[in-house]
Structure 1
Amino acid sequence: MKISVLLDRARDHALPVIATIGDDDLTQPTPCADYDVRALLDHLLHVVVEFQKLAAKQDADFSHTPSYPDWRERYPAETAKLVEAWGRPGADEGIAGTMNMPAPVVGGLALLDLTIHVSDLAKATGQSFEPDPEVFTEVAALVERMGPMAIEMNVFRAPVEAPADATPFERLLAATGRDPRWSA
């Protein structure tokens, strides 16, 4: 399935979570120890913006994360642009910008962030989240392929043990180093 279709499905699951985040939620901790809700919203929006450039084979800048005071309005627009960017002819071919990685892998990383970080935001704000099944399958395959390298690059933490009765998505979260049953 094309990465743009998967990103669109991930977007459909992400936007309701983001739209439900209130001002009182912004200082809440998240499963990402380095981020509270506000910082994670900024990080994820920055990823969405920069991965649009990577789809166009342009250089992206992840050296700093800007603050997005208009995040509520920007998420729907920027995630639509992300889907559009990865749907253009050639976006999923060749090498993607400064990441110097195959474009399909880079598109998968955008999908991973949009899925895992939205789950983080949902947990932090008391919402439920379950990814689209086809998005889950793609993200799980990417986590399995990229696991050791992602840990080395500090994208993931070392895997944690999932409870015996964990769902497949909880097992995926554990593989990225998250407590699959984290709560604030």
Structure 2
Amino acid sequence: MDLDPRPLYARATDQVAALMARVKPEALGDPTPCDGFDVRGLLAHLVGGVRAAAELGRTGADVTLEAAEDVPDDGWLQAYDEARALFGEVWADDAKLDAPVSVPWGELPGRAYLSSGCVLEAVGHAWDLSAALGHPLPLDQELAEYALEWARRVLPAERRGAPVPFGPVRPAPEGADAYVRLAAWLGREV
């Protein structure tokens, strides 16, 4: 898996942005399948995650993901797009793909972080947001297959619970699409 994950991340965040564009203010307090997050909390986590990934790309050192609490209810998509633009600028240098970065789960090359941290995060939470909104758009199954492959590698079933913020792997229905299988692997009730 030595490919450049940046185009996949762009597709994943485009998908999240398309879902964000469908969030109505009255839905911000609605629950999501991701424990501990209502829609507003999930949006804050997504914006904060892209900001943290940009900062990590800038410094190479571990940064704390902090939920974005500075965004007005009608500004989530704009804040996400601004964070994505900054991420794109910071990670544009191809040399960053092979440069080591330090994250809570260890030191790894930038490309592995982008795949296991960024793409996986955006794709997994795209399903959460989509489910909270009633699945208004078709989701990119190829992205989910890619994210599921990484999830199985970096989040094995036996490595759950504190400090890993994922519940036990759940069963996915027979014939489930890649997103449902990913959500179940990440511990979501599907």
Moved more, 102-111 or 45-54: 102-111
Distance 1:65 1:14, change over 3 A: closer
Residue 156 of structure 1 aligns with an amino acid whose one-letter code is F
Question: In the alignment, which residue of structure 1 is the partner of 2:186?
Answer: 176
- 1:26-65 equivalent positions in 2, closer than 5 A: 26-56=28-58, 57-62=60-65, 64-65=66-67
Q: Can you give the 5+ residue segments of structure 1 that lack an aligned partner in the other structure?
A: none
The DSSP-based 3-state class of the residue aligned with 1:97 is strand
Question: In the alignment, which residue of structure 2 is the partner of 1:17?
Answer: 19
Residue 143 of structure 1 aligns with an amino acid whose one-letter code is A
The structure carrying a bigger helix percent of its residues is 1
Shift of 1:113: 1.1
Residue 60 of structure 1 aligns with an amino acid whose one-letter code is V
Residue 44 of structure 1 aligns with an amino acid whose one-letter code is L
CA shift digits 1:56-105 (9 cap, x unpaired): 3144123x434132323111121232233333222221321344421222
Q: TM-score, normalised by structure 1?
A: 0.86
Q: Could you tell me whether the CA contact under 8 Å between 2:47 and 2:67 is conserved in 1?
A: no
Aligned mate of 2:164, from 136, 149, 154: 154
| Residues 1:116 and 2:124 are matched in the alignment | yes
Distance 1:60 1:37, change over 3 A: same
Shift of 1:130: 4.5
Question: In the alignment, which residue of structure 2 is the partner of 1:2?
Answer: 4
The DSSP-based 3-state class of the residue aligned with 2:43 is helix
Q: Could you tell me whether the CA contact under 8 Å between 2:168 and 2:187 is conserved in 1?
A: yes
Q: How many residues align?
A: 179
Shift of 1:44: 1.1
| Residues 1:106 and 2:125 are matched in the alignment | no
Shift of 1:174: 0.6
Alpha-carbon distance in structure 1 between the residues aligned to 2:166 and 2:159: 5
Q: TM-score, normalised by structure 2?
A: 0.83
Q: Can you give the 5+ residue segments of structure 2 that lack an aligned partner in the other structure?
A: none
Compute the RMSD of aligned alpha carbons: 2.1
Between 1 and 2, higher relative CO (CA 8 Å, sep ≥ 6) is seen in 1
Aligned mate of 1:136, from 128, 132, 144: 144
Residue 155 of structure 1 aligns with an amino acid whose one-letter code is P
CA shift digits 1:135-162 (9 cap, x unpaired): 2232111111012376243232110011
Alpha-carbon distance in structure 1 between the residues aligned to 2:138 and 2:84: 18
The DSSP-based 3-state class of the residue aligned with 2:54 is helix
Q: Could you tell me whether the CA contact under 8 Å between 1:14 and 1:118 is conserved in 2?
A: yes
Alpha-carbon distance in structure 2 between the residues aligned to 1:80 and 1:134: 23
Q: Could you tell me whether the CA contact under 8 Å between 1:52 and 1:81 is conserved in 2?
A: yes
| Residues 1:77 and 2:77 are matched in the alignment | no
Alpha-carbon distance in structure 2 between the residues aligned to 1:128 and 1:156: 26
